[in-house]
Structure 1
Amino acid sequence: MNRSPKTYAYLALLIGVISVSTSAIMVRLTVTPAPVTAFYRMFFSVLLMIPFFVAAKGAGIRSMTRRDWILISLAGIFLAFHFILWFESLELTSVASSVVLVTLQPLFAFAGTYLFFGEKASRQAIWSAALAIFGSLIISWGDFRISGMALAGDLLALTACLMVTVYLLFGQDVRKRHSLILHTTLVYGISAVVLFIYCVFFSYNLHPGNSENLMWLLLLAVFPNLLGHSLFNWSLKWISTNTISVAILFEPAGAIVLAYFILGEGVTWYQAAGSFVIFAGILLFLSGDFKKKEHHHHEDLDDKGRKMGIEKVKEAESPERMM
């Protein structure tokens, strides 16, 4: 049975969400400062992408317009600062709080796609996003501490959420017109350069640490980046930023489970309940998205059928046919 590209896009989205769920845990296991960790994550990602870029003979880089370069550069800059802020937040607050806040993207994505692309969200999409956000708040309810370092970490995570949403919005426009290899290599490359400049400017030691730390830095590039963000970028050609942003809300549930087994962080009743609510919100949103696309598909088929019918009538009434 032939499957549509959109079906594979949703499968890629699922793999991507599971992959990014490992990010917070791996960052916690590194010993390098947050900006240095972010730099190596992007640097190794670019190194891993270069063979594919070369094999694709530049992946159509010559077709890039000035507008494309501006958008993709902005995407790389916002992605770089997303990682800096989020990794810093993980040093100040809990995994649950940080991951929950950084994945509250629908709050920004719905507004951004409306302002920049005129993409309106349905009532079902808004309510399902609200349900997923409510689940995220349930998870964080017992973990938020409105004081000192934890509050600073929460604010950094929320700002990182804004940064990654803007990155996706800029990336959506370019990705629909260019290949995944080109988009990913350029965005990651620009992001790595920005992070390198940031580290040098603020005098961070760029030594990657011991072999174990180097392993975590490499795994950060392989799983959250190449099997996470790269698959999100690939999915952008068929799935909207809104859909991806809501699906990413499953990340807190995955991160909490991993934190329990790897970091020994306990799972509370509100974390379990919040995860369930998030999952329900995601299913509600995606079901609405499927119905909308299926409705549009049937409309396209009806339009095609009407056009074919009109053409047949014209053909039957043509002078040649009547002779």
Structure 2
Amino acid sequence: MMPLRLRGIFALLLVTLVWGTTFPAMKDLSAHLAPVWIVLVRFVLGGLLLSPFLLRAAGAEYRGGAMLGGMLFAAYMFQVEGLALTSANRNAFITGLNVLVVPLLGVVAGRAPERRIVIGIALALCGLFALCWDGGAWSFGDTLALIGALCFALYIKLVELRTRQATDLMALTAVQVLTVACCAALWIMLLPQPAIEAGVLQAAIRNNSVNLIYLGVVATAAIISLQTWGQRHASANEAAVMYALEPACAAVAAYFWLAETMAWRGIAGGLLLIAGIIASQWNPADELGPAPALLD
């Protein structure tokens, strides 16, 4: 029988594959729905499926989940807004830089960077240069994706803190997913939105129901649950390597889903970015422990 640790690694690989498909799915939706509506419908569906776990939530889960959900909402809004202005594969590679931002936060705090971090950043910057050379100059959509990557990095640090304080990880997950949905609803109610008729909105949701159900049911509720189980049995080192493959998965999915292609310079840039992410996280001395959170 396959060892639990190996099953955990395969579970995280499946998580990475599915999360890679969310980029073209959301890119496709951005042509029909405003980003905030995509976030709202996706997380309402995921939150409803996870809502039974709220019965097990205590004060720590509610406080931690609300904080995590608020940061996750900001990250998704920047990501989806950026997707409307750039390609899915380019957005995915820039979003993947969130893994590099986390150790950089330690540098800002005054800690000297390790050699693997310096190597990872150098490779990633070369990759970004190649991507921009291939796909055109840096755009506002790329800037939004980069801000989203920063938000995802801050989210990772919050997850690291809050999961240690929570007694039930699934309850914490349910609270944060529903918090994202509530933030999206408040955004729609309190901030001016482009005029749209109710019938047009309903038709857009109905016509794109397959994508929305996939994002809400599979990519949010089911995959977050699988991720939680996989991280229990894989090391942080192994999980980081699995997650570094997400931009490549997104590029493949964008090719088949949206017919987006990349020239050789873009492919080389993407590979350099992935190499930089893996180099920044690879530490053979790491012991088995909690894996970093997956973000897309």
TM-score grouping bracket, smaller chain normalisation: 0.7 to 0.9
Equivalent in the alignment of 1:24: 23
Tell me which moved more, 273-282 or 219-228. 273-282
For 2:180, give the aligned amino acid.
Answer: S
Once the two structures are superposed, what CA deviation does each residue of 1:183-235 show, in whole Å capped at 9, x if it has no partner?
21011011110111001122445845243312211111234323555555555
Cα distance between partner residues in 1 of 2:149 and 2:244: 11
- Aligned to 1:22, the other structure's residue is in SS state helix
For 1:111, give the aligned amino acid.
Answer: L
Equivalent in the alignment of 1:172: 160
Q: Which runs of 5+ in 2 are unaligned?
A: 290-296
Q: TM-score, normalised by structure 1?
A: 0.73
Instruction: Give the CA deviation at 1:70.
Output: 3.7
Alignment match of 1:83 (pick from 76, 79, 89): 76
For 2:119, give the aligned amino acid.
Answer: W
Instruction: Give the CA deviation at 1:38.
Output: 0.8
Q: 1:153 to 1:283 in 2, by over 3 A?
A: closer
Q: 1:139 to 1:145 in 2, by over 3 A?
A: closer
For 1:256, give the aligned amino acid.
Answer: A
CA contact (8 A) 2:94 2:142 kept: yes
Cα distance between partner residues in 2 of 1:113 and 1:239: 21
Instruction: Give the CA deviation at 1:160.
Output: 0.7
CA contact (8 A) 2:39 2:184 kept: yes
CA contact (8 A) 2:247 2:274 kept: no
Tell me which moved more, 97-106 or 274-283. 274-283
Equivalent in the alignment of 2:256: 261
Instruction: Give the CA deviation at 1:103.
Output: 1.5
- Aligned to 2:283, the other structure's residue is in SS state helix
Once the two structures are superposed, what CA deviation does each residue of 1:11-66 show, in whole Å capped at 9, x if it has no partner?
33322211111111111222111111011111111012124x27xxx23x23x33x
Cα distance between partner residues in 2 of 1:126 and 1:115: 14
Q: 1:114 to 1:171 in 2, by over 3 A?
A: farther
Q: How does 1:181-192 map to 2 (within 5 A)?
A: 181-192=170-181
Equivalent in the alignment of 1:131: 123
The alignment covers a number of residue pairs equal to: 279
Q: How does 1:1-323 map to 2 (within 5 A)?
A: 3=3, 7-30=6-29, 31-51=32-52, 53=53, 58-59=55-56, 61-62=57-58, 64-65=59-60, 69-112=62-105, 122-124=114-116, 126-128=118-120, 130-131=122-123, 134-146=126-138, 151-176=139-164, 177-204=166-193, 207-208=201-202, 209-232=204-227, 239-240=235-236, 247-281=242-276, 284=279, 288-293=282-287
- Aligned to 1:289, the other structure's residue is in SS state coil
Instruction: Give the CA deviation at 1:84.
Output: 1.2
Q: Which runs of 5+ in 1 are unaligned?
A: 297-323
Equivalent in the alignment of 2:292: none
Instruction: Give the CA deviation at 1:289.
Output: 3.5
For 2:72, give the aligned amino acid.
Answer: L
Larger Rg: 1
Q: TM-score, normalised by structure 2?
A: 0.78
Once the two structures are superposed, what CA deviation does each residue of 1:225-254 show, in whole Å capped at 9, x if it has no partner?
2355555555566655x8766654422222
Cα distance between partner residues in 1 of 2:136 and 2:167: 41
Cα distance between partner residues in 2 of 1:160 and 1:254: 19
Instruction: Give the CA deviation at 1:285.
Output: 5.7
Instruction: Give the CA deviation at 1:101.
Output: 1.6
Q: Which gives a bigger RCO, structure 1 or 2 (Cα 8 Å, sep 6+)?
A: 2
CA contact (8 A) 1:82 1:160 kept: yes
Cα distance between partner residues in 2 of 1:2 and 1:135: 37
Cα distance between partner residues in 1 of 2:244 and 2:210: 27
Instruction: Give the CA deviation at 1:293.
Output: 1.9
Tell me which moved more, 271-280 or 36-45. 271-280
CA contact (8 A) 2:163 2:169 kept: yes
Q: 1:220 to 1:72 in 2, by over 3 A?
A: same
Instruction: Give the CA deviation at 1:262.
Output: 1.9
CA contact (8 A) 1:102 1:160 kept: yes
Report the identity percentage: 22
Once the two structures are superposed, what CA deviation does each residue of 1:162-199 show, in whole Å capped at 9, x if it has no partner?
11111221122222343331121011011110111001
Q: 1:167 to 1:231 in 2, by over 3 A?
A: farther
Equivalent in the alignment of 1:300: none
Cα distance between partner residues in 2 of 1:223 and 1:125: 33
